[in-house]
Amino acid sequence: MLQALHKTGLVFFPAFDWAIDPTHPEREERLLYTQDQVTEEGVFDISGIIEYKPELVTNQDIRRAHFCVPDEKTVTTQSHLISAGGAKAIADAVLNKEVKNGFALVRPPGHHSMRISHGGRGFCHINMEAIMVEYIRSQYGIKKIAVIDTDCHHGDGTNDIFWHDPDVLFISLHQDGRTLYPGSGFPDELGGPNAKGSNLNIPLPPGTSTEGYLYVIRNCVLPILKEFQPDLIVNSAGQDNHYTDPLTNMNFSAQGYAKLTSLLKPDIAVLEGGYSIEGALPYVNLGIILAMAGLDYSGVVEPDYNPERLKQSVSITDKIKKTTDLINSYWNQRDKLRQRAGSVGDLQVRHREIFYDTDNIFERQKEKVRVCRDCGGCFEIDSTATPGPHILAVHIPINACKSCIEAGYRFFDQADKSKFDKVFLQDRTKDTYEIK
Amino acid sequence: MIIGIDVGGTHTDAVLLRNNGIEKRIKVPTDSADLFNTILSGFTQLLDNIDPKEIERVVISTTLTTNAIVQQDMDPVGMIVSAGPGIDPEVFRTGEHYYCVAGSINHRGREKAPVNTMEIEDIAKKLKKAGIEYVGVVGKFCVRNPSHEILIKRMINKHFKKVFLGYQVSGNLNFPRRIATTHLNTAVFSLHKSFFEAVKQSLEEMGLTAPIQILKADGGTMTLESSMSFPGQTVLSGPAASIMGAIPYAPANQDAIVLDIGGTTTDISFLVDKAPLLEPVGIKRGQYKSLIRSLRTDSKGVGGDSVIRVIDKELVIGPDRHGPAMAFGGPDPTPTDALFVLGLMNEGDQKNAQKGIGKIAQKLNLTDKEAADQIFKKCCSIILKKAFEMIDKLNAQPVYTVHEFLEGYKISPRKILLLGRPAPYFAKKIKELYHIETDVVPEFSVANAIGAALARTTCEVSLYADTEQGIVTAHEEDFAESISKTYSDDDLIETAYTLLKEKAISSGADPDDLDEVEVVEFQKFNIVRNFSPRGKIFRTKAQLKPGLIKGFEKVLQ
């Protein structure tokens, strides 16, 4: 009789009746073979593995992490609410200490959704991890959280949501943005002036294999986590680094994923992408579940796995080592970088253009953030979507200092209603959301 | 006339029914060391002054297999298990003669590694040398493609008396449970066979030649012949018999709780619109998990004879039983004794009961009556609490589609049905405490035997169609047919019903009951590769529902 080393919670929500469109890779069938493998292995019968039912996230939950334009109902479907609700259910189980850790195997994914969401980009409409992290901070008063995104695509949505937040350490490992969607996530993208170095982007060359991934985990991610000392570790567990994934060019394996999970020891893992639904997902997900439960995963090997064929070249190994050194040096200089980023009270302006590939929307943003040493700093974003409305969104961070709270309300009060379709205020200190 | 006989742990109940009423009801003590004679004496008493030619149907429910499992009195058998990638199959070892072999089938039924015939021959030799007569063969994902199991059976069949294959057990996925279930069938086969052959022979000697049906854990019956392939399905048929006995009194279009209050335990189960709820995968009891279709029942260690203690000034009831109540000469005070003190029961030794409850009352600083009342209330609350916990669990069951999530049916019983000897007393109290309509099932002391007698044949088929691979299969039924790209939902369901009806008839179903079929699961997926549709996968399960045979409605009025 199998007994998990520690209690592990699972939410399994394959949304068997939902797809973006009939031939889209993010489709009904995506978790079908995973379900088959997990069921056939009798995973839900293992003593210590507990299956939870997802909840529906509420508008209040979404409004902690997002400004949905024009509103939550338009941007999301029931499936998104359940998917994010799966992550939330796991968070409750972990934080109420019913289980030691948990894994939300849910779809659709979310890590390309940014703070302002006009619709779908990269198959994502709302960001499950960000909604969960903000829920945890409001509900359980936890301060420091690390989000490690191991999806093959840069987790640009999560990166955007925590860009100015020094209390959330966001690290993304992904295939080099010059070769893959969304084309971002370079090492010098370190976060806003108040949070430089708490966003770390580690691009990996195409062809990176298990060896390269585990090198980065051991020599970069783990030492940084040790120094940051988060109260909670979240893993955005995308599975498209696999050597059989049709959308990417990496050489990761089920054994590698399981090993990565046992090194990283996430409190909560949330499934993101992964489109090799027959050859990879069944084995990778099983490996992750067993690793989280502290069970032997040595037998979880793809039928066609050949480590010799997947070996990475010496030049790739060198490149990865160089990137790792660079990231470590940025991390070590983070205080200095923040000092240099500007003087307290300044408003720093950033212009951005964002393309929503799933819904074909083009967005222009002008962001103003208050430089602050005591908190993440309040900011306002002027956003125009084509097609779509023109809005102003004001954010006051959860641990905001008095000056930033006041500045945030000034942004909101002074906004000229006639210039915008809607003006939003997200005051995380009071957990409120206002629209004018 | 039909006969229903339910061999329980302490008593064996038997009834003889005519279509207008109960002809005879008897209760004999069960001799667990000699179930054969227990059954025989039941039949002898029932058939006294009855022409055995008039008997059209016999349904038997026994604890034979359950006892064999509990007492770990099963034959040593061989198991050959092929797993492929995943959890180490060594974890699921069933005994000494357990061999993990090469060969692998994946989740879509494609062969990923072949069977090693030399290895199998070698194992067959070893098993034979060890004196093994029965062998089970189980492969991972064999329900998607049983070719490896069939090949292994073909290779070793001549060396053994019978070889059991995993894919025939159930259409459900769950490799560890399939191993356990196949092992169970293999290990209890010879016991089951010799027992029922002896019963059949003795009945024939009495002149009783009607076909014998065996009650299964899902509250349905199967013929004696089909039970030979799946003897494990007879475990826990006892609780199933009781639930079936409660069905006629359950409300239509509503949910009900059924409580069978026995001596040691109370069995709890549920009826939704007069149909019993089934376990989603199979019987589960503690560590033991199987693919055996079963009614959803659980038991709580509180019954009429549970031992009552006071620990740290707290009243503790059960979960053990040390014998009958003190009123009937037992050693310890019990809830039944409390009923005596409350003046609800009187056919026993009132003084002894008073003495037992008196001790408890003293420790609690209460009068005898107060203590008895507290005991009674506590029994009710323990049982009801367990029932409500089960309902919460049922309603929290995960679902896998947006539709199911939003439309999820919530069980909310408005009625409780009680069976078992103390049922009438408990009914009143539960009603008083919980304000839920609570009824005692008429004939509550033999309702289980009536349930067995009237249970109809049940069965289930699982179908899997894959238009990319161009095939529809129901491997459990040894069915496979090629299909075209245009194969539809309706085609699949039609095939499912045809197979189900064939299976039902061969398991002994009455043709009149064949309309009680339903689709219990249906899923459809587009197969998408490189942004273009390649075909569809359909999965369905259809069942002949558990329920009662027609023509005996009057018996129950």
Best B181, B289, B392, B400 member to test A by mutation, with max A CBs in 10 Å, is B400
Number of domains in chain A: 2
Query: Do A153 and A75 fall within a single domain?
Result: yes
Quick: pLDDT tens for A352-405. 999 999 999 999 999 999 999 999 999 999 999 999 999 999 999 999 999 999
**Residues of B in Cβ contact (< 8 Å) with A27:** 526, 528
- What is the longest distance spanned by two Cα atoms in chain B? 83
The answer to whether B175 contacts A246, with C-beta atoms less than 8 Å apart, is no
Query: Do A194 and A241 fall within a single domain?
Result: yes
Query: Do A317 and A357 fall within a single domain?
Result: no
- The helix (run of H) or strand (run of E) holding residue A203 is strand A199-204
Quick: pLDDT tens for A409-424. 999 999 999 999 999 9
Q: Which of A306, A335, A364 is the last residue of a domain?
A: A335
User: Radius of gyration (Cα) for chain A, nearest Å?
Assistant: 21
pLDDT band at A26 (very low <50, low <70, confident <90, very high): confident
Please give the torsion angle defined by the CA atoms of residues B240, B245, B248 and B250, in that order, rounded to the nearest 10 degrees: -60
Q: Is A351 a catalytic residue?
A: no
Q: Is the pLDDT of residue B10 over 80?
A: no
Mean pLDDT lowest among B130-134, B374-378, B518-522: B518-522
Residue of A nearest to B88 (CA): A299
Please give the torsion angle defined by the CA atoms of residues A251, A255, A261 and A262, in that order, rounded to the nearest 10 degrees: -140
The answer to whether A303 contacts B85, with C-beta atoms less than 8 Å apart, is yes
Best B405, B489, B526 member to test A by mutation, with max A CBs in 10 Å, is B405
Query: Do A304 and A376 fall within a single domain?
Result: no
The answer to whether A45 contacts B108, with C-beta atoms less than 8 Å apart, is no
Q: Which of A296, A316, A335 is the last residue of a domain?
A: A335
Query: Do A224 and A370 fall within a single domain?
Result: no
The answer to whether A42 contacts B532, with C-beta atoms less than 8 Å apart, is no
More confident residue, B347 or A128: A128
Residue of A nearest to B177 (CA): A42
The answer to whether A303 contacts B104, with C-beta atoms less than 8 Å apart, is yes
pLDDT band at B215 (very low <50, low <70, confident <90, very high): very high
Q: Which of A296, A318, A335 is the last residue of a domain?
A: A335
Residue of A nearest to B111 (CA): A303
Q: Is the pLDDT of residue B326 over 70?
A: yes
Within 13 Å, how many C-alpha atoms sit on residue A191's CB side?
Answer: 30
Contact present, B400 and B351 (Cβ < 8 Å): no
Provide the residue type at B386 as one letter.
K
- Alpha carbon separation from B166 to B65, B98, B184, B226 (Å, rounded): 19, 14, 11, 16
- Nearest CA distance, A19 vs chain B (angstrom): 10
Cβ contacts below 8 Å, chain A against chain B, sum to 124
Provide the residue type at B79 as one letter.
M
Of A14, A25, A41, nearest to B528 by CB-CB distance is: A25
Query: Do A380 and A319 fall within a single domain?
Result: no
Query: Do A257 and A316 fall within a single domain?
Result: yes
The answer to whether A298 contacts B400, with C-beta atoms less than 8 Å apart, is no
Query: Do A268 and A374 fall within a single domain?
Result: no
Residue of A nearest to B398 (CA): A53
Of A2, A51, A303, nearest to B112 by CB-CB distance is: A303
Residue A429: closest CA among A393, A392, A401: A401
A399 by DSSP, 3-state: which? coil
The answer to whether A33 contacts B112, with C-beta atoms less than 8 Å apart, is no
Residue A203: alpha-carbon gap to chain centroid: 16
**Residues of A in Cβ contact (< 8 Å) with B107:** 33, 36-37, 40, 278, 282
The answer to whether B176 contacts A45, with C-beta atoms less than 8 Å apart, is yes
Residue A341: closest CA among A144, A130, A166: A166
pLDDT band at B552 (very low <50, low <70, confident <90, very high): confident
- Nearest CA distance, B406 vs chain A (angstrom): 9
**Residue B412 contacts A where some CB pair is shorter than 8 Å:** no
Which of A112, A125, A153, A174 is catalytic? The answer is: A112
Rounded Cα distance between B501 and B112, Å, is 35
Question: What average pLDDT does the segment B33-55 reach?
Answer: 93
- What pLDDT shows up at residue B32? 84
Give the other-Cβ count within 10 Å of B512's Cβ: 11
What are phi and psi for residue A175, nearest 5 degrees? -70, 140
Best B81, B82, B87, B399 member to test A by mutation, with max A CBs in 10 Å, is B87
Query: Do A67 and A195 fall within a single domain?
Result: yes
Mean pLDDT lowest among A40-44, B178-182, B406-410, B437-441: B406-410
Angle (deg, nearest 10), helices B175-205 and B35-47: 50
Rounded Cα distance between B383 and B299, Å, is 9
Sheet holding A390-396, edge to edge: A347-356, A361-370, A379-386, A390-396, A422-427, A432-435
pLDDT, averaged across chain B:
92
Rounded Cα distance between B420 and B442, Å, is 11
Q: What is the DSSP letter of B383?
A: H
**Residues of A in Cβ contact (< 8 Å) with B177:** 42, 45
Question: What average pLDDT does the segment B287-313 reach?
Answer: 91
Question: What average pLDDT does the segment A202-223 reach?
Answer: 97
Provide the residue type at B555 as one letter.
V
Rounded Cα distance between A395 and A433, Å, is 9
Rounded Cα distance between B193 and A58, Å, is 59
Rounded Cα distance between B122 and A214, Å, is 42
Please give the torsion angle defined by the CA atoms of residues B234, B238, B239 and B240, in that order, rounded to the nearest 10 degrees: 50
The answer to whether B533 contacts A2, with C-beta atoms less than 8 Å apart, is no
pLDDT above 70 covers a percentage of chain A that reads 100
Taking phi first (over 0 means left), then psi (-120 to 50 degrees means alpha), and beta for anything else, what does residue B131 get?
left
The answer to whether B400 contacts A13, with C-beta atoms less than 8 Å apart, is yes
Query: Do A323 and A360 fall within a single domain?
Result: no
Query: Do A13 and A56 fall within a single domain?
Result: yes
Query: Do A427 and A410 fall within a single domain?
Result: yes
pLDDT band at B441 (very low <50, low <70, confident <90, very high): very high
- Nearest CA distance, A415 vs chain B (angstrom): 40
Q: Which two tokens stand for residue A171?
A: 């690290």
Please give the torsion angle defined by the CA atoms of residues B446, B450, B451 and B457, in that order, rounded to the nearest 10 degrees: 150
How are beta strands B266-272 and B275-276 bridged, if at all? antiparallel
Provide the residue type at A367 as one letter.
E
Rounded Cα distance between B85 and A299, Å, is 6
**Residue B107 contacts A where some CB pair is shorter than 8 Å:** yes
- Nearest CA distance, A89 vs chain B (angstrom): 12
A159 by DSSP, 3-state: which? helix
- What pLDDT shows up at residue B494? 95
- What pLDDT shows up at residue A154? 97
Domain membership of residue A43 as a residue range: 3-335
- What pLDDT shows up at residue B557? 66
- What pLDDT shows up at residue A121? 93
- What pLDDT shows up at residue B12? 92
Contact present, B406 and A78 (Cβ < 8 Å): yes
- Nearest CA distance, B84 vs chain A (angstrom): 8
Contact present, A239 and A285 (Cβ < 8 Å): yes
ipTM at complex level:
0.93
Quick: pLDDT tens for B96-123. 999 999 999 999 999 999 999 999 999 9
More confident residue, B82 or B404: B82
- Nearest CA distance, A54 vs chain B (angstrom): 8
Q: Is the pLDDT of residue B286 over 80?
A: no
Q: Is the pLDDT of residue B206 over 70?
A: yes
CATH of the domain at A118: 3.40.800.20
The answer to whether B173 contacts A36, with C-beta atoms less than 8 Å apart, is yes
pLDDT above 90 covers a percentage of chain A that reads 95
